[in-house]
Every structure is written in structure tokens, then in C-alpha cells.
Amino acid sequence: MAWRLFLSRISNPKSSQTSTFTIFNPRAPFQNPNYFSLLASHFSTSFLVTKTPKKFRKKRKKKESPRTKLVQSEPNRVPALERIVERDAFFRFLIRSKEFLSKQPHHVLRLDDAGKLYRELGFPRGRKVARFIQRHPLIFETYRHDDGKMWLGFTDFMEELLEEERAIMDSMEVDRVAKVRKLLMMSAGKRIPLSKIYHCRLLFGIPDDFRDRVAKYPNYFRVVVEDDGRRVLELVNWDPSLAVSALESEFMVDEEKVKRAFKFAVKHGKDLDLDENDTRKLNLLNTLPLVSPYSDGSKLDLWTLEAEKYRVGVLHEFLSLTLEKRASIHHIVEFKEEFSLTKHTYQMLLKQPRTFYLAGTEMNWVVFLKDAYDENGVLINKGPQVDFTEKLFKHAQMQER
């Protein structure tokens, strides 16, 4: 009877104050909304294992970031070309510091200021610039000035190398003028902002003062200042002799090689039962004729086959004009509007592995012209400026002459 009395008090707590005996109503406890919560409060389920212990959980593989994920898988990787990208990363401080110091008065910079210019000098943020200076004792030196401050500058040997480089650039001026003219002939509207050419000047071997040298060639170039103050370089005269791409020139020498350069596959069913030779001939119907990079690609419908042929041809010609037949994503994106490129340029290049090789990571890739390099990753046709750069890298790794 005690339990019946307890339940009746739960269902009607006031009755316990006025009466010591209540007739039991079997439905009364369930009519109380707090009944089940009162019962549950007396029993704990914390001892029950409701989740899989951490040590027994299946570890999920973290998705690799585009910053670190390599473009090429292991079977398709070309180690010789990948090493060139690694070499560029190693000498980033050398190249950027050389460019920055060359523009400073007397080629010197206070060491305290150099430590803050990590982006301009090409060393990681938070690192000491002195560590990177010590890597190249034949190139950079530090000294204490009369003001008691430490300064960074070039060694006498490096000053001699800079004079040699200037002489090479002066001797190549006519060739560099022709390259800029070809870039303008490929671009939409036959005009490119001077800032874009300046940003990519090392890619083509263009000197720092090319913006001043442009005035020497009024028959080729015209500088226009837009409303926002931006200076734009425009083409004055079209030269048909320059409007011949590298692929067209090579076609006259080795026709079959050019036919194999690109592949624009024709989709077909298995019912056709084509062998490899028949498939190649069918694809050639799509691939040929190629579209000249010197045609006006801005007038083509963006997602047609003709437009994709044009974009592939433009990038091939662009790489052919560079000193080392390669360019990074940053250089290509710089000319996105001028060459009518889309955001799918990365995927487009991957679809043409016969001609292009993409090295590095998905976020920071470099595209090579494969035919321009031998199996050891050595550039086949080197110019004087490429020879100078290799000479500079060689001395940069030496501790003494």
C-alpha cells in the first residue's frame, strides 16, 4: 500500500497536506506531465557506451590541400622538370633581392629595412634575412656604415656580373622589341597595359627600363594614358612576317610532329569498333586545322571547339616567346583578358599532355613546353640570357671564387 500512497501524492501533491489517505486512481500518475521526468531522474544511463571510443574510430584521411597537392601523379611525373621548379624556389631570394637591390640608390639597403621586406626580397615571413644572405657570399655582403647601421649590398664580383647582364640585354634589344610586338599582335585590341609587361619582363628577358626604350620605336608602339591613369602600350603597325606562330614554322619542317601536338578527341560509341589508327584519323578531323594565335580570338564563341583551339595555340605561342619555354600560373593569369582565357585554363592544359607538362602544385603550377627540353630536363635551345642565369646560379652556390 505504501507505493500506492506515494504515487497518489505525486499525482496530487496538495492532497498530502489536507488528507492522509487518498483513493488510488490508476490513471492519475500518467496524467501528470512531469511523471516520466521524475522517474528518469532517479536512474542514470551515463554508464552506457553511446559513442565509439576515439581509439577505435576509423581515421579519416585528410583531404589534401591544393597548396600542397602535386599536379602530376607518380606514374606521370617527370622528375627532371619538377627539379627545375624546386630550383626556382631555392633561388627565389637571390632573384628577387637582385631585382630589388638593383633599383636602389648605390645598390644598397639598410639591413633593418631588409628584414621587413620579406615579400619584395623573396624570403618567408618571420625568418631572419641574414640567414639567406649567408647562403650567397659571392653575391651579397653586409657592412657597417659610418652611421653605425648595418647595410646590405652587392659584392664587387656581383657588380661585374650586373654589367655583363646589361651588356647582354642591350645586344638583344632588337629581338626583345620583336617579342613585344608579337605579344601585342596576339592580344585582344592589340594593346596591353605596360604594368603587365613589366611584371613579366624577366620571362621574356625585357630590361627594367623598357618603358623608356619604347619611345625609340614610334613606328611600332604607342603609349596611351587612360582615364584612370593607367598607361597602355598599343601596336602601331601590323607586320605579317611576325604573324607566323612557332607551330606554323615547325609544320613546314615536320608535319607529322605538329599533327600529334594536340588532341581534340571525337566522341563516338563502341559500336563503331575503331582500332587505334582509325581513332587517330577520326580525331585529326577535329584537331585540324588549328587556329592561328594571331587571329582575333575575342570574336569566337567562348565554349566552341574553335575557341579552345585558339586558346591552346595562344598559350603555345606565349611559351615559345619566353626565354626558358615555361611560365607560372601567375604569368598566364596576368594576360587572361588579352588572350581571352577562361577559368578552366588549368584543366585545358592537362588535356594536352603531348605538348604541355604541368609541374608543381595545383595552386602554384608551372607549365612547360615538353619538346623544348631533353630527357634530362635541359633546355635544348638556350639564349645568352639563359646562359647568364645558369652562370649566376652556379656562383650563388659557391662559398668562394
Pull the grid cell for residue 277.
Answer: 589508327
74 domain residue, yes or no:
no
Which pLDDT score is estimated for 316? 95
pLDDT at res. 276: 61
pLDDT value at residue 109:
94
Do 237 and 307 have their domain in common? yes
Between β-strands 326-328 and 191-193, what pairing exists: parallel, antiparallel or unpaired? unpaired
**How do 356-360 and 365-369 pair as beta strands?**
antiparallel
Cis ω on the peptide bond leading into residue 289 (within 30° of 0)?
yes
Task: Identify whether the C-beta of residue 129 lies closer than 8 Å to the C-beta of residue 121.
Answer: yes
pLDDT at 253: 83
Mean pLDDT across the chain, nearest whole number? 85
Same domain, 263 and 180: yes
Q: d(Cα 145, Cα 153) in Å, to the nearest integer? A: 11
**Ramachandran bin of 148, using left for φ above 0, alpha for ψ from -120 to 50, beta for the remaining angles:** left
Looking at the structure of the chain, the number of domains it has is 2
Q: For the ranges 9-23, 227-241, 304-318, 331-345, which has the lowest average pLDDT?
A: 9-23
Strands (E), 183-331: 191-193, 221-225, 231-235, 326-328
Q: Which residue has the higher pLDDT, 100 or 290?
A: 100
Do residues 193 and 236 share a domain?
Answer: yes
Question: Given pLDDT bands bounded at 50, 70 and 90, which one contains residue 67?
Answer: confident
Write out pLDDT tens, residues 360-393: 998 999 999 999 999 999 999 999 999 999 999 9
Percent of the chain clearing pLDDT 90 (strictly above): 61
- The mean pLDDT of 172-198, rounded to a whole number, is 95
Cell of 318: 606565349
Q: For the segment 34-62, what is each residue's pLDDT rounded down to a tens digit?
A: 555 555 555 555 555 567 777 777 777 77
Q: Of 123, 154, 185, which marks where a domain is finished?
A: 154
Q: Give pLDDT tens digits for 318-342.
A: 999 999 999 999 999 999 999 999 9
For 243-280, how does the pLDDT look when each residue is reduced to its tens digit (9 = 90+)?
999 999 988 888 788 878 887 776 655 555 565 665 66
Average pLDDT of span 2-20: 49
Domain boundary among 112, 135, 154: 154
Cα angle: 393, vertex 89, 127; to 5 degrees: 105
CA–CA distance from 42 to each of 32, 45, 49, 63, 307 (Å)?
17, 10, 19, 46, 75
Are 235 and 191 a contacting pair, CB within 8 Å? yes
Paired strand residues for 224: 232
Structural domain boundaries, residue 103 = 79-154
- In a shared domain, residues 205 and 354: yes
Q: What are phi and psi of 191, to 5 degrees?
A: -150, 145
**DSSP for 222-256, written as a single string:** EEEE-TTS-EEEEE-S--TTT---HHHHHHHH-HH
Task: Examine the pLDDT at 188 and tell me if it is beyond 70.
Answer: yes
Is 17 among the domain residues?
no
64 part of a folded domain: no
149: domain CATH number?
3.30.420
